[in-house]
Chains A and B, each alone.
Chain A
């Protein structure tokens, strides 16, 4: 239990640091803003109590908000996908499959993990970008930014699974 706590604590620090010190600083063209701290919410244990998942997601969103001066936006999107997570997992899992408790790439297989990442990231980015502009004007321009950023986030998240957070 204690080991688990330390592991998620380290994961939190690493993901937030990479997000605010690296990904928020590289600014391609204004269309690609990847957000990979979603991985923290994705990797929380599947049997964790739902209040813990919701509160931790709110917290990670709030910390990213404070660093990027966007109070409320990231926390809203994070809590949203944290609440949607069990339903998403139910949709993409076959009845016969036995899911391990930790939904990492090595435990779940590439196909499952890829669809899990894609759905979570895409929903998160849609909520995030539309709340950020706070209007449906330029609907397609925002959608374009959502799509490009999602592709980039998914790529980075899946790639990171081959390098760190493997167990």
Chain B
């Protein structure tokens, strides 16, 4: 017994090494549950404050581009507004009524990456601004990501460039929908899967969100088809989508608060329970 004990003491570096590596592996494997403890990710107060003050300095270098984007969006909104200018008042009521369940909360990106295998975004708004997990993040040019963790004044989310998450997206022209995944290679391109062969495609076709997931409203721009192939022995196209938003340079975003989401969830669970109940 004593010699075993002596052996253990003699080899303590190896045991400590093993223990620390096991802790790390547990961290890696139980990734999601540990990330939910909000102090172990970049939305915790210390980390986010550091990123926030860092961004407030660095952002001055991007102001020219941000301004250009804003004025482009302004012009676009003005054009849309112009369309409704001459429409009689009562006929626009329908349009206004349709999507009132979505609120938009503006936020600034304080940390972002595009070169990892899993890319994350940290935002400067949090629970006190009305941000909750599972809300979509978009910019004026298209989708950006989804919120996963929220602390008091900061939030963290997965970017589109993260294989841990996929978006439901459809072809604007024909309405066929599939799921959007990132293959980890190029930050400008994502893959659209599950589009069957009988659908007619063209390079340059627009891809928008499908609105089936309740995270994004229908019709938010995703990108355009850059190329597609018909892999042998499969039923679905492999479609390469060029993202409309340059995720490397995005600075200001909007978080989508779906106020109808609770109602939708209750309805869903009621339906499912009803279906299994009888």
Q: Which B residue's beta carbon lies closest to that of A73?
A: B28
Tell me if B153 is interfacial: C-beta within 8 Å of chain A.
no
The reply to whether the CB of B176 lies closer than 8 angstroms to some CB of chain A is no
* Nearest Cβ on chain B to A51's Cβ, whole angstroms: 6
CA distance A25 to B97 in the complex (A): 43
A133/B117 in contact, CB under 8 A:
yes
- Residues from chain A with a CB closer than 8 A to the CB of B248 are 27
A132: Cβ under 8 A from any B Cβ: yes
Check A71 against B17 for contact (C-beta < 8 Å). Answer: no
* Bound CA span A65–B50, Å: 15
Name the A residues within 8 Å of B17 (CB-CB).
54, 79, 82-83
Q: Does B44 contact A66, Cβ atoms closer than 8 Å?
A: yes
Inter-subunit contact A66/B40 (CB<8 Å): yes
Residues of A within 8 A of B35 (CB): 69, 71
- Which chain B residues border A79 with CB–CB below 8 Å? 17, 20-21, 24
Does B127 sit within 8 A of A, measured CB to CB?
Answer: no
> In chain A between 96 and 140, which residues have their CB closer than 8 angstroms to a CB of chain B?
131-134
Interface size in chain B (residues, C-beta < 8 A):
38
B114 interface residue per 8 A CB criterion: yes
The A/B interface has a contact count, at CB < 8 Å, of 98
Contact between A68 and B116 (Cβ–Cβ < 8 Å)? yes
* Docked CA distance A133–B28 (Å): 12
CB nearest neighbor in A for B35: A71
Chain A residues with CB under 8 Å of B118's CB are: 69-70, 132
Query: Are A51 and B116 closer than 8 Å at their CB atoms?
Result: no
**Residues of B at under 8 Å CB distance from A?**
12-14, 16-17, 20-21, 23-29, 31, 34-35, 40-42, 44, 47, 50, 54, 58, 113-118, 120, 156, 184-187, 248
Q: Pick 14 A–B contacts, CB within 8 A, sort by A.
A: A28-B115, A30-B186, A51-B13, A55-B16, A67-B42, A69-B41, A70-B116, A71-B31, A72-B25, A72-B27, A73-B28, A76-B24, A79-B21, A132-B117
Please name 5 further chain A to chain B contacts, defined as beta carbons within 8 Å, in addition to the given A27-B248, A80-B21, sorted by A numbering.
Answer: A30-B185, A55-B16, A65-B27, A67-B47, A72-B26
